[in-house]
Amino acid sequence: MTDKILLAGILSESLVNGEGLRFVLFSQICKHNCSGCFNPETHSEAGGEWFDLSEIIKQIKTNPIINGVTFSGGDPFEQADKFAYIAKSIRSKNFTVWCYTGYTYEYIMQNKHIQKGWDDLLNNIDILIDGPFQEEHYNPNLKYRGSSNQRMINVPSSLAQNKMITVEF
Ligand code: SF4
Protein backbone atom coordinates (compact mmCIF):
# COMPACT_ATOMS: atom_id res chain seq x y z
CA MET A 1 0.00 0.00 0.00
CA THR A 2 1.30 3.42 -0.89
CA ASP A 3 1.74 5.70 2.10
CA LYS A 4 -0.25 8.51 0.48
CA ILE A 5 -3.96 9.21 0.11
CA LEU A 6 -5.71 11.31 -2.55
CA LEU A 7 -7.95 13.92 -0.92
CA ALA A 8 -10.22 16.68 -2.17
CA GLY A 9 -9.85 18.52 1.13
CA ILE A 10 -9.50 18.52 4.91
CA LEU A 11 -11.52 20.28 7.59
CA SER A 12 -9.72 20.16 10.92
CA GLU A 13 -12.83 21.11 12.91
CA SER A 14 -16.42 20.76 11.73
CA LEU A 15 -19.78 20.68 13.52
CA VAL A 16 -21.90 19.64 10.52
CA ASN A 17 -20.36 16.34 9.37
CA GLY A 18 -21.56 14.15 12.23
CA GLU A 19 -22.10 14.36 15.98
CA GLY A 20 -19.79 16.67 17.90
CA LEU A 21 -16.67 18.43 16.70
CA ARG A 22 -15.08 16.35 13.96
CA PHE A 23 -11.99 16.20 11.80
CA VAL A 24 -13.19 15.64 8.22
CA LEU A 25 -11.33 14.05 5.32
CA PHE A 26 -12.93 14.53 1.87
CA SER A 27 -11.78 11.72 -0.36
CA GLN A 28 -11.06 12.34 -4.03
CA ILE A 29 -12.59 9.91 -6.59
CA CYS A 30 -16.23 8.95 -6.92
CA LYS A 31 -17.87 6.74 -9.56
CA HIS A 32 -21.54 7.23 -8.65
CA ASN A 33 -22.32 10.37 -10.67
CA CYS A 34 -25.40 11.25 -8.64
CA SER A 35 -27.56 13.85 -10.33
CA GLY A 36 -27.40 17.02 -8.21
CA CYS A 37 -24.12 16.05 -6.47
CA PHE A 38 -22.83 18.90 -4.30
CA ASN A 39 -19.16 17.99 -4.86
CA PRO A 40 -18.64 17.16 -8.58
CA GLU A 41 -15.00 18.29 -8.38
CA THR A 42 -14.30 15.26 -6.16
CA HIS A 43 -15.11 12.68 -8.87
CA SER A 44 -12.01 12.61 -11.09
CA GLU A 45 -8.97 10.47 -10.35
CA ALA A 46 -6.94 13.29 -11.89
CA GLY A 47 -8.04 15.83 -9.28
CA GLY A 48 -7.31 16.30 -5.61
CA GLU A 49 -4.00 16.33 -3.81
CA TRP A 50 -1.83 13.56 -2.34
CA PHE A 51 -1.25 13.64 1.42
CA ASP A 52 1.04 11.49 3.60
CA LEU A 53 -1.01 9.09 5.71
CA SER A 54 1.36 9.58 8.63
CA GLU A 55 0.90 13.36 8.50
CA ILE A 56 -2.92 13.05 8.45
CA ILE A 57 -2.86 10.64 11.41
CA LYS A 58 -0.57 12.99 13.34
CA GLN A 59 -2.89 15.95 12.68
CA ILE A 60 -5.85 13.95 14.00
CA LYS A 61 -4.07 12.61 17.05
CA THR A 62 -2.66 15.95 18.10
CA ASN A 63 -5.91 17.89 17.75
CA PRO A 64 -6.99 18.33 21.38
CA ILE A 65 -10.63 19.30 20.86
CA ILE A 66 -12.15 16.96 18.28
CA ASN A 67 -14.16 13.92 19.37
CA GLY A 68 -14.47 12.15 16.08
CA VAL A 69 -13.36 11.77 12.50
CA THR A 70 -15.56 11.69 9.39
CA PHE A 71 -14.61 10.26 6.01
CA SER A 72 -16.61 12.03 3.29
CA GLY A 73 -16.17 12.52 -0.42
CA GLY A 74 -15.99 11.68 -3.11
CA ASP A 75 -16.36 8.11 -1.99
CA PRO A 76 -13.95 6.84 0.71
CA PHE A 77 -14.63 3.26 -0.41
CA GLU A 78 -12.59 3.96 -3.58
CA GLN A 79 -9.52 4.18 -1.29
CA ALA A 80 -10.83 1.88 1.41
CA ASP A 81 -7.44 0.41 2.38
CA LYS A 82 -6.07 3.90 3.12
CA PHE A 83 -9.10 4.97 5.15
CA ALA A 84 -9.05 1.67 7.03
CA TYR A 85 -5.42 2.31 7.92
CA ILE A 86 -6.28 5.79 9.25
CA ALA A 87 -9.30 4.48 11.19
CA LYS A 88 -7.22 1.74 12.83
CA SER A 89 -4.43 4.16 13.70
CA ILE A 90 -6.71 6.56 15.57
CA ARG A 91 -8.98 4.10 17.35
CA SER A 92 -6.84 4.06 20.47
CA LYS A 93 -7.81 7.71 20.98
CA ASN A 94 -11.47 6.68 21.44
CA PHE A 95 -12.62 8.75 18.49
CA THR A 96 -15.80 7.74 16.75
CA VAL A 97 -15.35 7.18 13.03
CA TRP A 98 -18.14 8.05 10.59
CA CYS A 99 -18.00 7.28 6.88
CA TYR A 100 -20.10 8.37 3.91
CA THR A 101 -20.38 6.23 0.79
CA GLY A 102 -22.45 6.14 -2.39
CA TYR A 103 -22.58 2.34 -2.17
CA THR A 104 -25.42 0.73 -0.22
CA TYR A 105 -24.76 -1.31 2.89
CA GLU A 106 -26.14 -4.39 1.13
CA TYR A 107 -23.76 -3.90 -1.84
CA ILE A 108 -20.80 -3.46 0.49
CA MET A 109 -21.70 -6.62 2.41
CA GLN A 110 -21.95 -8.59 -0.85
CA ASN A 111 -18.62 -7.30 -2.16
CA LYS A 112 -16.53 -6.70 0.96
CA HIS A 113 -14.30 -9.71 0.36
CA ILE A 114 -13.74 -8.86 -3.32
CA GLN A 115 -13.04 -5.13 -3.17
CA LYS A 116 -9.70 -4.03 -1.77
CA GLY A 117 -9.92 -2.80 1.81
CA TRP A 118 -13.71 -2.85 2.09
CA ASP A 119 -13.94 -5.46 4.85
CA ASP A 120 -11.16 -3.77 6.79
CA LEU A 121 -12.79 -0.34 6.51
CA LEU A 122 -16.22 -1.64 7.46
CA ASN A 123 -14.75 -3.26 10.56
CA ASN A 124 -13.23 0.04 11.71
CA ILE A 125 -16.07 2.53 11.36
CA ASP A 126 -18.87 3.27 13.83
CA ILE A 127 -21.48 4.97 11.65
CA LEU A 128 -21.93 4.45 7.91
CA ILE A 129 -24.14 6.84 5.91
CA ASP A 130 -24.87 4.82 2.81
CA GLY A 131 -26.28 5.10 -0.68
CA PRO A 132 -26.16 7.64 -3.50
CA PHE A 133 -27.66 11.12 -3.26
CA GLN A 134 -31.07 11.01 -4.97
CA GLU A 135 -32.45 14.37 -6.03
CA GLU A 136 -36.04 13.09 -5.97
CA HIS A 137 -35.58 12.16 -2.31
CA TYR A 138 -33.76 15.36 -1.31
CA ASN A 139 -34.88 16.67 2.06
CA PRO A 140 -33.13 19.71 3.59
CA ASN A 141 -34.45 18.79 7.05
CA LEU A 142 -32.54 15.52 7.27
CA LYS A 143 -29.67 15.54 9.72
CA TYR A 144 -26.24 14.63 8.32
CA ARG A 145 -27.54 13.37 4.95
CA GLY A 146 -29.04 14.80 1.80
CA SER A 147 -31.73 12.38 0.64
CA SER A 148 -34.11 10.08 2.48
CA ASN A 149 -32.84 6.89 0.79
CA GLN A 150 -29.55 7.34 2.68
CA ARG A 151 -29.39 5.55 6.01
CA MET A 152 -27.33 6.05 9.14
CA ILE A 153 -26.09 2.61 10.11
CA ASN A 154 -24.53 1.46 13.36
CA VAL A 155 -21.87 -0.76 11.82
CA PRO A 156 -20.55 -2.64 14.90
CA SER A 157 -24.10 -3.58 15.98
CA SER A 158 -25.12 -4.49 12.43
CA LEU A 159 -22.12 -6.78 11.98
CA ALA A 160 -22.57 -8.36 15.41
CA GLN A 161 -26.29 -9.06 14.89
CA ASN A 162 -25.98 -9.89 11.20
CA LYS A 163 -28.72 -7.43 10.23
CA MET A 164 -28.70 -3.75 9.39
CA ILE A 165 -29.30 -1.51 12.41
CA THR A 166 -30.00 2.14 11.67
CA VAL A 167 -29.73 5.06 14.08
CA GLU A 168 -31.01 8.64 14.27
CA PHE A 169 -29.33 11.61 15.92
S1 SF4 B 1 -21.74 9.58 -3.92
FE2 SF4 B 1 -21.56 11.66 -3.10
S3 SF4 B 1 -19.74 12.54 -4.10
FE4 SF4 B 1 -20.33 10.72 -5.26
S5 SF4 B 1 -21.62 11.50 -6.94
FE6 SF4 B 1 -22.97 10.86 -5.25
S7 SF4 B 1 -23.31 12.73 -4.03
FE8 SF4 B 1 -21.50 13.09 -5.35
pLDDT in tens, 13-26: 999 999 999 999 99
Instruction: For the chain, give the longest Cα–Cα distance.
Output: 41
- In this prediction, residues 104-112 reach a mean pLDDT of 98
User: What distance in angstroms lies between residue 89's CA and the mean position of ligand 1's atoms?
Assistant: 26
Residue 125 lies in domain: 1-6+15-67+80-107+119-141+156-169
Residue identifier of the C-alpha nearest atom 6 of ligand 1:
34
Task: Report how many domains make up the chain.
Answer: 1
Contact criterion met (CB below 8 Å) for 86 and 39: no
Q: Domain for residue 75, yes or no?
A: no
**Tens-digit pLDDT profile for residues 26-48:** 999 999 999 999 899 999 999 99
Residue identifier of the C-alpha nearest atom 3 of ligand 1:
74
- Closest to 154 in 3D by CA, of 144, 168, 135, 137: 168
Q: ω before 20 within 30° of 0 (cis)?
A: no
Q: Domain for residue 148, yes or no?
A: no
Q: Domain for residue 59, yes or no?
A: yes
